[in-house]
Amino acid sequence: MAVDLAGRFDGEIIGADSRQVYRHMDIGTAKPTATERSQAPHHLLDILDPDQNFDVATFLSMARPAAEDIRSRDRLPIVAGGTGQYIWALHDGWEVPQPPPNPEFREAKTREAEQKGAAVLHEELKAIDPQRASQIHPHNVRRVIRALEIHNATKRLPSQVAGRSKAEPDALVLGLTMDRQQLYGRIDHRVDTMMSEGFLDEVKRLLEMGFTMGKGPLSSPGYRELGLYLDGELTLEEAVQRTKSQTHRLVRRQYSWFKQTDPRIEWLDAAGPDLRQQAYDRVVRYLAVNGACDTIALEPSEEPNDEIYKDAGRGQ
């Protein structure tokens, strides 16, 4: 959808996906294909190695200048991706501090989580900042550690550190959704397609390069599970099934960021036969009021309409 709109409205795409920023993670993140990239300029893809840190502050530091540059050339910035925190941080004008990463602190807290359990770190954060703790799932160790790291570096409550800067001007926000069971079916089909495209070979190459499956960005659905298969802890069938189940969970988390009652989002039926026209009409109306140099933020369902995307294995 983003590529289609970019072609119709002289746009460029800014990725809002916390995994597609990483090199060598192409199939497992459903990264835009070479053909799709040739059809529209893309930003924030393939900029880091899988052992490097990328968070919302880093995203904002790159996405905002990219949007300004695109506007300066009288083109349309289109933000596309499924990482809700990134989308809303840009849309609502978050100002997030960037204390430098502290590898020693992170390593110590990671060991503590491994030895004592993730709940211990979450309780530590809750004692320091109940508000921030309520916003992070106890099993999301990386984000809990980041909150503790911010407190350690700034001596301020993580929930109070982030302020607001200028929000995106009158952004149009389009969301794609569909029946949940139909969506799960699309996911399962996509995982099968990824496997046929060489996802297992991608994981093997990453291992050969020295990266650890299940660590950092390589904890994403599929990478951890195929790593366990290669370690002999799962059969391939079990790894594929777990990948599907974990992606179902990811979708449920995405819907917690993109609520269907959210008045900021104009929802479209991703399975509807007129999806392309529906999106086109909304953008035309939006640009008639706001001019051609504002931003479209596009939040996808896990899989888009087959009529729009010829490759059913893509779609984030």
Please write down the HEC assignment for all residues of 183-251. HHHHHHHHHHHHHHHCHHHHHHHHHHCCCCCCCHHHHCCCHHHHHHHHCCCCCHHHHHHHHHHHHHHHH
Domains 2-96+167-210+242-299 and 103-161 share a fold: no
Q: How many CB atoms lie within 10 A of CB 310?
A: 9
Residue 300 carries which DSSP code? Answer: -
Task: Give the pairing of strands 296-299 and 172-177.
Answer: parallel
Q: What is the mean pLDDT of the chain?
A: 88
Counting DSSP H helices and E strands in the chain, the numbers are 14, 8
Which whole-number Å values give the CA distances from 312 to 7, 27, 191, 240, in the listed order?
20, 13, 10, 17
Can you give the pLDDT at residue 251?
Answer: 93
Can you give the pLDDT at residue 111?
Answer: 93
> Do residues 147 and 160 touch, judged by C-beta distance below 8 A?
no
Task: Give the pairing of strands 163-164 and 94-95.
Answer: antiparallel
At position 292, the amino acid (one-letter code) is A
Can you give the pLDDT at residue 313?
Answer: 33
Q: Residue 268 is inside which H or E element, if any? A: strand 266-269
- Token look-up 């051609």 returns 292
pLDDT band at 101 (very low <50, low <70, confident <90, very high): confident
Q: Which two tokens stand for residue 287?
A: 């640009």
Q: Is the pTM of this model over 0.85?
A: no
Is the pLDDT at 303 greater than 60, yes or no? Answer: no
Q: Where are the chain's structural domains? A: 2-96+167-210+242-299, 103-161
The structural architecture, per CATH, of the domain 2-96+167-210+242-299 is 3-Layer(aba) Sandwich (3.40)
Counted residue by residue, the chain has a size of: 316
Q: Which two tokens stand for residue 197?
A: 């495209």
Four-way CATH pick for 103-161: 2.70.50.60, 1.10.20.140, 3.40.50.1860, 3.90.1150.10:
1.10.20.140
Which of the given ranges, 112-116, 137-141, 201-205, has the highest pLDDT on average?
201-205
pLDDT band at 296 (very low <50, low <70, confident <90, very high): low
> Do residues 251 and 302 touch, judged by C-beta distance below 8 A?
yes
